[in-house]
Amino acid sequence: MAAVTGSQPECDPAWMSRASGKACQTVSLGRKILLVEDDVLIAMDLADLLSAMGHDVCHIASTEADAVEAAARLAPDLMIVDGNLAEGSGVSAMRQILARGFVAHFYISGDPNQLLKAVPDAVVLAKPFTMHALANGMAKAALGARRN
């Protein structure tokens, strides 16, 4: 989990202004989260929910390439990754990201059984999910980070 410091976390100001009309804001008590989701409505709803929970959504990536680049640039505390993207794969993106070093993450998917075939030990939330399930997924991803 991110430590609370006097400095701001690095975030993507261009994305923040497009997404919410706001500039990158102050440090929260939550995590710096990178979302990987190609459905704009789901991404925006999830970003709003995470922000309301006290987390900093630093970027929303909609493609495999954008996810890999943003993870390297922003060094998120947590990634929430859609398994199937219109351009590429969330699973493939995470394989590339994890090859550089561990990042706490979990997947969201409309077809969790298919995703678990590709990544048997993954934490996966089935779409649609509740706020309680989201919080549980975040906790399980954090536990996985502590083991690595």
Q: What is the predicted pLDDT for the residue at 76?
A: 97
Average pLDDT, the chain: 82
Number of other CB atoms surrounding residue 15 within 10 Å: 18
Give me the count of residues in the chain. Answer: 148
Give me the pLDDT at residue 14, please: 44
Please check the confidence at residue 145 and state whether its pLDDT lies above 80: no
What φ, ψ does residue 107 adopt, rounded to 5°?
Answer: -105, 150
Report how far residue 76's alpha carbon sits from residue 105's, in angstroms, rounded to the nearest whole number. Answer: 10
pLDDT of residue 51: 93
User: 3: left (phi > 0), else alpha (psi -120 to 50), else beta?
Assistant: beta
pTM listed for this prediction: 0.79
Share of the chain above pLDDT 70, in %: 78
pLDDT value of position 146: 59
Q: What is the distance in angstroms between the CA of the first residue and the CA of the last residue of the chain?
A: 14
Three-state secondary-structure class, residue 26: coil
In angstroms, the CA 14 to CA 121 distance is 35
**How much is the pLDDT for 45?**
93
In which band, very low, low, confident or very high, does the pLDDT at 75 lie, cut at 50, 70 and 90?
A: very high
The residue-averaged pLDDT of 86-105 equals 96
Mean pLDDT of 6-16: 39
β-sheet with 124-126: strand ranges across: 56-61, 32-36, 78-82, 104-109, 124-126
pLDDT over 80 at 60, yes or no? yes
**pLDDT tens string 104-136:** 999 999 999 999 999 999 999 999 988 899 999
